[in-house]
Every structure is written in structure tokens, then in C-alpha cells.
Structure 1
Amino acid sequence: MFNKIIKRAHAHKKSAKSGHHENSSNGQQFYEVVMKHASRTATATAPPAAANSDPLPSPSPVPLPRPLVIEHLPPLREVPSSERPSLFLRKIQLCCILCDFSDVSKNATAIEIKRQTLYELVDIVQSGSFKFTENQDDLVKMISANIFRCLPPASHENTATETGDPEEDDTFLEPSWPHLQLVYEILLRYIVSPETDIKNAKRYIDHIFVLKLLDLFDSEDMREREYLKTILHRIYGKFMVHRPFIRKAINNVFYRFIFETQRHNGIAELLEILGSIINGFALPMKEEHKLFLIRALLPLHKPKSVHTYHNQLAYCIVQFVEKDNRLAEPVIKGMLKYWPVTNCQKEVLFLGELEEVLESTQPAEFQKCMISLSRKLGQCLNSPHFQIAERALYLWNNEHIISLVAQNRSVILPIIFEALERNMQSHWNQAVHGLTVNVRKMFMEMDTELFEECQRRYLEKEAGAREQEEKRELTWKQLEAVAAQAVIG
């Protein structure tokens, strides 16, 4: 039995050598991908072999990973013109080989050769000597082989912590960026080139290609996300046939982020693209765009990490309101729906965004939501966090907001008057106290009669509350006296 096993092993080695020789005769190089696994030591003791059983063969040694070898090709300018097309194609094929950046010391030569080759391709593309009508298939295959990959686990996944905010850490740098940057530059030049024929290019830049690009937006490397943002924006502008699909795909990314993962590194970049897209919407606005605002953009106020993309989100929201003033009501009501309860930082951001929305709000739309809005502002005025109270009081410095309030003062002032008086009496922060005095004075000058009526009602309410408190205290004292007599008796 042992002799049979040895013969089979020798036969297998001979066949492997012969196959390697045949491949070498064709002038082609094949590279072996070696998967590295952690070695494990057996802790259990193997059972003793039977007396009549054949001995097991010793395990063959695992071959060590060898350094990657890439052929060094001459520059295009050093070869005759007739050989340049074939050499250019060979360079594209060479760049399809992926280098292992986990151990740069072993593959330093191969990494540098590929980087120089990519740099040469970028130089050729930028100079205009390369015609994008040729070798499109090979070029896109090379780009796809390099950029479409599994992203490494995020920092919060490595530490197994749920409380960490991955968006706050932008220090991660993609190890293969020296190659990726050049590949992204080639892709960008391919997209924006006037020589790129849309009819032919859309066979390669298709829906699957777009979806894979969107998956890469979750990269932790900010440099990669910036390139992706520019490239996807250019694709949206040039490939009109893909526009509805791109909007829908971004919509799905937002849904997955809001309702499932709550973690994504590229929300800000996607919102920047949408800000430009929304700015180009034609009027009257399509119903699908309004649904996108209500179902995708407004719920983006909900995640805890909203501070990482709030500027871009607020810009998109304001663009919608400026395009169609009738959207101010659902926007304000949506913000009130997702208004933070315990996150002071988010509340300050919401107040800033609310001011921008109110600047584009017309009186008719303001009247539909002014009651609920005034109640929320009253709560903000009395917030013990001085930044929230201060930011809410700054709203009264906006002339457009003052005009909206002045037209509806008979409804708004009775709602927030109590909050103003409480700030005057008991707020601990002097800056908030001073701003409250200014707002109170503004209302008094705006309508003295209404102000005095609100003050009279407030004093009556306070007197009634004190009277109720005195009655409760008297009732408790009577109960205590009755209980004391019962104990004595």
C-alpha cells in the first residue's frame, strides 16, 4: 500500500513538471496565488495504528509563497510605431495582475514595475495619443480587475465595538493606493474624453459597473471616495440612459443605511452628487423626486452619525424647497418627526437647517405647520443646554423669519410667551438671558396690546398654579394630622 502511494506521488510530480514546461514554451507566465492560513498545532494524540494496517504517508511540505514576478516592458516611445499597438495591449494586460501589498518588501520590484506601467498609461491617455475607440474592452477589464475588490473590515468591526463612530476616523489609507489612484485617473479620463463613444461605452459602463462603483463608496479611504464621487457624477452627466438607475441605486444605498446598517462611509459624497442633480431638476418637479425627498432624504436625519454628512443633507433639502415652495410644509414636519431628544449636538444642527428652510418658506406654507413648530421652538428656548437655547433665539435675527412671525403673531406669541418668561426668571446662562430680553422686547414693540394680553394670561396661569400647589400642600397637612391622631388613639 505504501509503495502505491509513493508511485502516485511521483507520477503527480512528473505531470506537474511537464505541464509547467509546456506553459513555459508558449512564452506565457502563470502566477500561483498562495492562500496564507494560520498554522495550527494538533493538541489531541492520534490513536495507535493497527498492527496490520499500512503506515500513513508523511505530509508533503507546504510551499512557501514566492515573490511576484512581472515582466518589465520597454516604454512605448522606444519601440517602432508598428509595434506600439501590440505593446500597449500587453501593458494593459500586465496591469491586470494584482500585487500583494500585505508584504511590500517581497514584491517591491513587481509593485514598482506595475506603478511605472500605470503611470505611463496615464501619461498616454492624458496626452491624447491613445484612441478610446480601440481596446475599450481590455481597458475596462483592467480597471475592473484593480478597483472592484472586497473592502477590508471597518475599524469598528476589527475592535468589535458598537459605540465607536467609524465616520470619525479618516486616518485609514488604502495600501494599494499608489496603483488605485492611477487606475482611477485612467477611468476618469476614459469617461470624460470627447472621443469616448456613448453607444459603445455603455456596453462596458453598464448597470453592474455602476452598482460596483456604489459599493466602493463605503471605502474608509477619503481619497478613493473623492475619485468615486467625481467619476459617478461624470457618468451621470454623460450617460443619460443611466440616470434613473443611478438615482434609484443611490436611493437603495440610503435605505440600507437608514433601516439596516446605520454605518456607511460615503453618505456625504453621495449627497454631494445628489445636490448637483437636484439643482438641475426641471419644473414642475416629478412625483418620483418628491417621493425621494420624503422617503429617503428626510429619514437621513434619524441616524446618530448625521453630523458627518449634515451639511450636504441640508443643502439637498434646501434645494428642494427653493425649487418648489410647497415642499416646505412636508420638510418642516419631517424634521419635527425626526427631531433629536437627547442628542444636543444634533439639535443645534437641526436648528441651523431649520433656519435655512424657513428662509425659503412662503407665508401660506408656514401657516400649515407654525403651531407644531412654535411648540418645538418653545422647548428649545427652555433647554438647559445653552447652545440649543442660544441657537433657537438666533432665529429671531433673521428678517424673513421675523416677517413670517409678525404676520402670525396672534398664534405664535401665546405659544412661546411662557418659554420667554421662564428664561427671564430662571435660565442659568447670561447670554441666553440677554437674547431672551431682546426677543421679548421685539414682541412688545411688534404688538403691545397682544403682548400685554399674553402677559396677563401668563400671570393668571401662574397664580392658578400657585393656588393649586397651596391646596395640595394643605390637603397633605390635613391627611398627616388625621394619620397622627389615628396613631395616638
Structure 2
Amino acid sequence: MGAPKTAPKAKKKSTTLRRLFDLDPNPIPLPLPRPPQSETEPEPESATSVLLSLISSSSDPFSAQETNRQTISQLLSTLRLCKKPLPDHLVPPLLSLLSALLFRPLPPQPDPLLLLLLVVDVDDYFPPLSFSPSWPHLTLIYDALSALLAIVDSKSLHSHITHSFLSNLTALLHSADPRERHKLKSTYHQLYSQLTGERAFMRKSMRNALLEADRHCGLGVAELLEIWGSIINGFVVPLKEEHKSLLKRVLMPLHKSRGMPGFYKQLCYCVFQFVEKEMELGEVVVEGMVRYWPVANCHKEVLMIGELEELVEVLDSHQFGKVAVRICSRIANCMSSCNSQVAERALYLWSNEQFVEMASGVMDQILPPIVEAIENNLSSHWSKSIHHLTTSVKKLLEEMEPTLYSRCLEEIKNQEPIARQEEIKRRAMWEMVEMAGRL
């Protein structure tokens, strides 16, 4: 009676999923389920070989990527389970695979000049953004690269990471997808901390990328500056000439970029890092700001007035005395600006107690242009709010330096006839030029 009962059970055991795969004359080469880590160690080599075969059999890496997302996820989970360090012979094929999937030509960006013409108000210019439809797959690849870097020995990484790889990675920072730029920023940080021998080349690549900010519509500049911020924070004092040239030739010219409002905070952080390390660089910063001061962009003017205010708070009294005339001359010009936002922001500087305290030490040098701007506002500015603010500033300065303020007023009154005569001569000269042009 026992034999007939055991026969049906034997038939049920033979009708398993593995039995059906074994009986299939044309089996599909699907990867087997990964055994638990406690039973078997992960085999990254097998997962890598599957991906490499898929890439080699496809002329387009992205088509393979689209059809094998599950396999890429399997590679990522396998890399995360691997113990450090990864066997050296597995690093080159993995890097080649990830390079084939990541490095691709970015979509062409619109002409920056065309963008500037399309924007009605130049103050509203910001870099264009677009979200890549392949991001669900790209994020897996970036995670796989990060996991690979975490388990590869630094010495092995030095021998396998090439300059071409680093340059291509830097070029991807100009992607229009902010999610990809964020991933790249983390990956670049990771590489910079591990590749100590390649740091000079990586800094050079980032410098060149910043110099091409306008060419790429300002894309990736904020992320590059965030990377630079952490690098500058680690610079030792005294600073090298290479580091000082970064401030003078790369960071300060970024103030003239059309996309500056988009990376203003990151730029200020990098600049002030230099000044905090060496106060003498405050002169370089002020000189650069005056040189690249915006002429027809009111929003950038407001931002740069705020940057000047923060700079004054960082400087000591001795260094401020060296740049006080240039700073306050620029502030005086902004106080009498026709744009009410610019004039208001400049006038509000005098409500900053630290700024007023620093200015009081060099009042005899900075007061003449300030008094001239105040008198011009009271006599000819169109905005009532600016009149009110100017009156408050005038009362403050008269209370601080009554004698010096009166002397400046007398000098302005004495110079008025001379200014009128020069204006008459200038108009007469232009009339002569116009008459000569009509003949």
C-alpha cells in the first residue's frame, strides 16, 4: 500500500522549474539567482562577464543598458557585497564597462548669445535645465562606479584610472540634468580623495572647465565650485602661487559670467576661503570685483554689493584701510544709481554696524565721494524711498563727522563752477564734431 502513495510524489518532484529548464532544447541564458552571502561568496566576475558580453554583442551601449537594467542592478548589488580589496584583474573590465555606459556625447546646448536675446530681462537669465529620460539607468551606473571605487585599493586604482577617464568625467559635469551633476560631484570627490598622485591633473581639468562656463551656459559651475570649496579648505598656509592664480585668473573672472546668479553662493564661499587664509588677498578680490563690476545687470550689482559687505566683515582694520577707497567709491556710485534696487542696497550698507565701524577709521579718505552721492540723490533722484534712506544716511554721517562733512560740502560747492565750465567745453566740442560731420 505504501508504494502507490510514493509514486505520485516522485512525479511532482520531477515537475520543477529547474527540470523544465533542463528539458528545454533551446534554453535562454538567464543569470541564475544569486545565493545568499552566508552560503556562497559573491561572484562579481560572473556578473561582469555577463555585462561585457552584452556590451560586446551590441553596437549601442545604451540599447543594451535599456534591455538589461535588471542585470546592471545585479552588478551593483554584487559590488556592494564584495569585500575590499577587489581582485586587481577585475578592475579593468569593470572600468571599461562603466566607461562605455557613462561617457557619451551630451546634447548640444543652445547658443548663449541666442539665449541672451530670447530672455527679455537679462536679470532673469539662468542655465537651461533638462531631465534625461535615461536617468533611471544612469543612476544605477553611477552607483556601480561609486561602489567599485569604494572596494578598489588606491594603488590599483592609480594604475587603472587614466587621464582620459578623468577628462571625460569632468566633461559630463556640463550635463543639463542636475541629478547627474550631483552624482558626478560625489564621484569626483571620491576620486580626488583616493588619487593623490592625480590631484594636480584633476585641478587643471576643473580650472579649464570653469574657464568655459559661458560656453556651456553656466552648467556644472555650481558643482565644480562646491568641489573647489572643499579643496581650497584643505590648502595649507602660506598658499602656493598656483593656488593664488586660481583666485585671480579663474574665480574672479567668473563674476562677469551671465550665469553668475546661479552659482553666486558657491563662488563667494571659495573667494572668502582664500581671504580667510591670507588677508592680503583681499586686495586681489577687491581689484577683481571692481574690474568685473556689471554695467547693465542690476541683479548682479545687488549681489556684488552684498559680496562687498561680507568681504568687509572678513577683513581686519589694517587690510580694510588698503582697499577702503576703492570699496567706498564703488558703493558711492551705487548709492546714486538710477535703479532703485541697487541704490537701496548700497544705502542699506550704512545700517551694518561692523561696516560703519570699519569706515569710521578712514572717514577722511572715503567721505568725499559718499557726500557727493548723497547730495546728488537729494537733489535729483526720482525715488521717494531713496530720498528717505539718503536723508537717514546723511544724518548718521553728520553726527559721526560734522566738521568733515561740512568741509566736503564746501569742496563740492567750490567745484560746481569748474564742473559747469567743463560741461560747456564738452558740449561745444561735440557741436564742432557734429558740424564737421555734416560738411
TM superposition score normalised by structure 1: 0.73
Tell me, what secondary structure is at the counterpart of 2:159? coil
Counterpart of 1:347 (choices 301, 304, 316) is 301
Match of 1:237 in 2: 193
Deviation at residue 96 of structure 1 after TM alignment: 3.3
Change (3 A) 1:164 1:180: farther
Counterpart of 1:190 (choices 132, 148, 168) is 148
The more displaced of 400-409 and 116-125 is 116-125
Deviation at residue 339 of structure 1 after TM alignment: 0.6
**Are 2:83 and 1:125 equivalent residues in the alignment?**
no
Match of 1:44 in 2: none
Match of 1:427 in 2: 381
Aligned-partner Cα distance in 1 for 2:216–2:155: 38
Report if the CA contact (8 A) 1:95-1:118 is conserved: no
**Are 2:101 and 1:143 equivalent residues in the alignment?**
no
Change (3 A) 1:211 1:101: closer
Match of 1:51 in 2: none
Match of 2:50 in 1: 91
Change (3 A) 1:287 1:95: farther
Tell me, what secondary structure is at the counterpart of 1:73? coil
Aligned-partner Cα distance in 2 for 1:304–1:380: 20
Match of 1:207 in 2: 163
Report if the CA contact (8 A) 1:262-1:303 is conserved: no
Match of 2:240 in 1: 286
Tell me, what secondary structure is at the counterpart of 1:329? helix
Report if the CA contact (8 A) 1:76-1:88 is conserved: no
Change (3 A) 1:394 1:359: same
Change (3 A) 1:182 1:317: same
Q: Deviations over 1:95-130 (max 9, x none)?
A: 63669699xxxx7xx656511111122222234468
Matches within 5 A, 1:462-477: 462=416, 464=417
Change (3 A) 1:465 1:216: same
Matches within 5 A, 1:159-170: 163-164=117-118, 167-170=126-129
* Structure 1 letter corresponding to 2:277: K
Matches within 5 A, 1:309-458: 309-458=263-412
Aligned-partner Cα distance in 1 for 2:66–2:136: 9
Change (3 A) 1:262 1:445: farther
**Are 2:132 and 1:177 equivalent residues in the alignment?**
no
Change (3 A) 1:89 1:467: closer
Match of 2:435 in 1: none
Report if the CA contact (8 A) 1:188-1:231 is conserved: yes
Aligned-partner Cα distance in 2 for 1:465–1:232: 61
TM superposition score normalised by structure 2: 0.80
Change (3 A) 1:153 1:378: same
Match of 1:248 in 2: 204
Tell me, what secondary structure is at the counterpart of 2:294? coil
Q: Deviations over 1:307-354 (max 9, x none)?
A: 222221111111111111000011101100011111111111111111
Structure having the larger proportion of residues in helix: 2
Please list every run of 5 or more consecutive structure 1 residues that lacks an aligned counterpart in the other structure. Answer: 1-69, 477-489
The more displaced of 334-343 and 431-440 is 431-440
Aligned-partner Cα distance in 2 for 1:333–1:467: 32
Tell me, what secondary structure is at the counterpart of 2:235? coil
Change (3 A) 1:449 1:82: closer
Change (3 A) 1:186 1:395: same
Tell me, what secondary structure is at the counterpart of 2:165? helix
Report if the CA contact (8 A) 1:380-1:392 is conserved: yes
Bigger relative contact order, structure 1 or 2, given CA contacts below 8 A and separation 6+? 2
Tell me, what secondary structure is at the counterpart of 1:383? coil
Counterpart of 1:275 (choices 202, 213, 229) is 229
* Structure 2 letter corresponding to 1:284: P
Change (3 A) 1:176 1:94: farther
Match of 1:224 in 2: 180
Tell me, what secondary structure is at the counterpart of 2:35? helix
Aligned-partner Cα distance in 2 for 1:118–1:280: 36
Report if the CA contact (8 A) 2:42-2:81 is conserved: no
Pick the structure with greater CA Rg. Answer: 1
Report if the CA contact (8 A) 2:301-2:342 is conserved: yes
Aligned-partner Cα distance in 2 for 1:362–1:410: 19
Change (3 A) 1:164 1:233: farther
Aligned length: 391
Match of 2:436 in 1: none
Please list every run of 5 or more consecutive structure 2 residues that lacks an aligned counterpart in the other structure. Answer: 1-27, 120-124, 429-439
Change (3 A) 1:394 1:161: closer
Identity %: 37
The more displaced of 214-223 and 82-91 is 82-91
Aligned-partner Cα distance in 2 for 1:414–1:267: 40
* Structure 2 letter corresponding to 1:138: P
Change (3 A) 1:267 1:257: same
Report if the CA contact (8 A) 2:335-2:347 is conserved: yes
What is the Cα-based RMSD across aligned positions, in Å? Answer: 3.1
Report if the CA contact (8 A) 2:43-2:78 is conserved: no
Aligned-partner Cα distance in 2 for 1:467–1:399: 38
Aligned-partner Cα distance in 1 for 2:199–2:339: 45
